[in-house]
Amino acid sequence: MELCLRAEAEGGLSRGEIENGLLRLLNARPAAKVLIIPPDYTRFHSNAGFLTNFCFHYYTDKGARVDILPALGTHVPISPGEAADMYGDIPYTAFLTHNWRTDVERLGEVSGQRMAAITEGIWTEPIAVEINRLVTGGGYDLILSVGQVVPHEVIGMSNHGKNLFVGVGGADMINKSHMVGAVYGMERMMGRDHTPVREIFDYALGKYLNHLPILFLLTVTTAAGREIFTHGLFAGAERDALEAAIQLSQQKNIDFVERGIPKCVVYLDPQEYKSTWLGNKSVYRSRMAIADGGELIVLAPGVERFGEDEQVDGLIRKYGYRGREEILALFRDPAHEDLRANMGAAAHLIHGSSDGRFTVTYAVAPAFRRPIESAHFKSADYTATASRYDPGKLRYGYNTLKDGEEIYFIPNPALGLWINREKFIN
């Protein structure tokens, strides 16, 4: 590991501590042509925006060419306003846009035999290993993969190889890795390091990208509103940086509740969350904490569509969040080839359902209420719901309202994982 910073104070690392650490790291990594792969705006609270800005100016001040390729995955490209908000004064012309359908080259595959071994026989199809052509063919002296380690519904703990093979990867890996995670089961993976999907990425990284000058720069953060606290900063080309970040994130980003939550209220910042594709983090990250028969209310003032991609949006509107078994049955039915051809969307439909164990109510603008209901969620008017559950007044955790109702409030689901300690299986 080339850099290991852990904050001693609850307020996290100071700006000076981060800058000094980065200087030590980058001084040992001279380069004339640099590619930075940071997360997109949906990971605003990663503090990757500040890190990217610092690295960009460090190298450009030394005369280097620096390109920035945000790890979009299937998300929409960042806008000029979002880029300025997250990354500061970096010129928008420095940002490149990844297209997961057209911008990739095939490096090889993870064989069906290996997939069967990785997934305990649950998945036996091979997966193509694809990545943006610039990563392998751009002639870069240094590739900085920047991002946040936090509990994740598909891989267990986010980032590292995922930032490459999903963030700037191709359709086969994105779709099949998400489906592997959905079939294997979220609850078996979330918050853990060694999972089938992680093993897929580790294998692909070692076999196909080991010759490239990739340096991982990983954060562990929490946030109160838009104030970011960086508790750890880890960098290295090997897996030990990831392992250190995972260990810290498990301490900072997993909250155990002592009993199942009867009513959970989650707020989605409209600047970050405009689709259920992203907003369903409220379902993923709280599902292990909500009681059987409980209720999840999602305060979603900015959510106005389902998918980040038009094709995926159409599939969500067509099928809705029906539950694991029903979606798997449709997925296996040759009459529903559109699901088979879009496994990432099929996996998302599984992830986004509570499987009938608790209800999910999206509080949205009036125009989006009927579409929400057609997708098998309940709907409510945002203004009326937020007047009762005011996100500006509720505090994180348990709250008792004036009429005695008790709710559990989560101000940003992307920053953690919530688990009922009574039912947690190590």
The model's pLDDT over 356-408, given as tens digits with 9 standing for 90+, comes to 999 999 999 999 999 999 999 999 999 999 999 999 999 999 999 999 999 99
Residue ranges of the domains in the chain? 3-252, 255-423
Average pLDDT of every residue of the chain: 95
Q: Which helix (H) or strand (E) holds 87?
A: helix 80-87
Q: Residue 225 above 90 pLDDT?
A: no
Question: Left, alpha or beta for 275 (phi > 0: left; psi -120 to 50: alpha)?
Answer: beta
- Yes or no: domain 3-252 corresponds to CATH 3.40.50.11440: yes
Rg, the chain, Cα only: 21
Length of the chain: 426
Residues with Cβ within 8 Å of residue 329, at least 6 apart in sequence: none
Is residue 132 very low, low, confident or very high in pLDDT (cuts 50, 70, 90)?
very high
C-beta separation of 96 from 80 below 8 A: no
Q: Residue 423 above 80 pLDDT?
A: no
What's the one-letter identity of residue 103? D
The pLDDT of residue 160 is 97
C-beta separation of 349 from 325 below 8 A: no
Q: Residue 43 above 70 pLDDT?
A: yes
Q: Residue 9 above 90 pLDDT?
A: no
pTM for the model stands at: 0.88
The pLDDT of residue 195 is 96
CATH for 255-423 is: 3.90.226.30
- Beta pairing class for 142-148 and 33-37: parallel
Q: Residue 186 above 90 pLDDT?
A: no
Helices (H), 131-239: 133-137, 161-165, 171-184, 196-208
DSSP-derived 3-state class of residue 246: helix
Two structure tokens written together for 112:
């069906």
Q: What's the gap between Cα 114 and its chain centre?
A: 26
The pLDDT of residue 223 is 87
Q: Residue 204 above 70 pLDDT?
A: yes
